[in-house]
């Protein structure tokens, strides 16, 4: 359950139980299963997928991304398949949080694929501003989930927007994304979750024993 730690307020020590720390392996595995059913996607280990090896080779050859980094650090969603570089439910608390947030980020890409169908793949691969826009939506989910999972901590807009450099996105599009995310962070800090994918995941976690940051829509 929760983890105890001591907090000092005006010189006095208080024992605090941080329930937001209690994310379990079962909750992370369960969340991925539930989101996969709800948004109709399947999960594949990236390392064992031949098509990912080809993409890694091509991205490396084009100078967009290092092959090893693409295979080991990035989750990639194509259509209804999510390629993960990690084993779901395994790792430290930080890794479990990342996996849960990644689940929602990738579910958002499936939603975009549903919404824009073939144009999603065309836009994503050929237009830098479109790719930045799609990723901004995904990063907002990442931000919302990180906030909820950590009991109120915020990822900075700059750190998330800078990740776009690894996707071959221009400086000006990174700047636009950073501003967009900066506004999102202000909204999230007030307890407002906008993305439906995040709401779905938060509702599920809430119903499965997880206690995260207080968010408005489930008060």
Considering the complex, state which of residue 131 and residue 149 has its C-beta at the smaller distance from Zn ion. 131
Considering the complex, state which of residue 107 and residue 215 has its C-beta at the smaller distance from Zn ion. 107
CA angle at 159 for the pair 110 and 186, rounded to the nearest 5°? 80
Angstrom distance (rounded) from CA 136 to CA 160: 9
Strand 42-45 vs strand 81-84: parallel, antiparallel, or unpaired?
parallel
Contact 25, 96 (CB under 8 A): yes
Q: Which of these ranges, 34-42, 60-68, 132-140, 181-189, lies near Zn ion under the rule CB under 5 A?
A: 132-140
Contact 218, 203 (CB under 8 A): yes
The DSSP code for 14 is: E
Provide, rounded to whole angstroms, the least separation between the CB of residue 142 and Zn ion: 8
Of positions 138, 144, 169, 174, contacts Zn ion by CB under 5 A? 138
Taking CB atoms, the residue at the shortest distance from Zn ion is 138
Q: Which of these ranges, 117-125, 134-142, 145-153, 205-213, lies near Zn ion under the rule CB under 5 A?
A: 134-142
Does residue 107 interact with Zn ion by CB under 5 A? Answer: no
Give the interface size with Zn ion as a residue count (CB under 5 A): 2
Provide, rounded to whole angstroms, the least separation between the CB of residue 122 and Zn ion: 17
Provide, rounded to whole angstroms, the least separation between the CB of residue 135 and Zn ion: 5
Q: How many residues would you count in the chain? A: 219
Q: Which of these ranges, 15-23, 26-34, 128-136, 207-215, lies near Zn ion under the rule CB under 5 A?
A: 128-136
Considering the complex, state which of residue 83 and residue 210 has its C-beta at the smaller distance from Zn ion. 83
Contact 111, 87 (CB under 8 A): no
Summary count for the chain: helices (H), strands (E): 8, 5
Tokens of 134: 């799609």
Considering the complex, state which of residue 20 and residue 197 has its C-beta at the smaller distance from Zn ion. 197
Rounded CA Rg of the chain: 18
Provide, rounded to whole angstroms, the least separation between the CB of residue 24 and Zn ion: 25
Angstrom distance (rounded) from CA 42 to CA 90: 18
The DSSP code for 169 is: -
Considering the complex, state which of residue 20 and residue 164 has its C-beta at the smaller distance from Zn ion. 164
Binding site for Zn ion (CB under 5 A): 135, 138
């Amino acid at each position: 359950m929760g983890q105890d730690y001591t907090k000092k307020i005006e010189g006095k020590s208080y024992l605090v139980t941080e329930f937001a720390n209690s994310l379990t392996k079962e909750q992370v595995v369960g969340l991925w299963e539930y989101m996969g059913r709800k948004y109709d996607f399947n999960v594949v280990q990236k390392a064992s997928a031949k098509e990912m090896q080809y993409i890694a080779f091509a991205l490396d050859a084009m100078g967009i991304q290092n092959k090893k980094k693409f295979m080991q650090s990035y989750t990639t969603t194509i259509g209804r398949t999510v390629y993960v570089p990690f084993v779901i439910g395994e790792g430290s608390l930080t890794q479990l949080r990342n996996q849960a947030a990644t689940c929602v980020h990738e579910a958002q890409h499936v939603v975009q694929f549903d919404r824009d169908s073939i144009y999603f793949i065309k836009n994503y691969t050929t237009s830098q501003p479109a790719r930045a826009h799609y990723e901004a939506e995904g990063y907002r989910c990442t931000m919302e989930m990180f906030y909820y999972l950590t009991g109120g901590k915020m990822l900075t807009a700059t750190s998330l927007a800078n990740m776009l450099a690894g996707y071959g996105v221009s400086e000006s599009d990174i700047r636009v994304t950073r501003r967009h995310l900066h506004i999102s962070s202000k909204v999230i800090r007030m307890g407002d979750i906008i993305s439906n994918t995040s709401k779905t995941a938060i509702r599920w976690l809430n119903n499965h024993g997880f206690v995260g940051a207080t968010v408005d829509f489930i008060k």
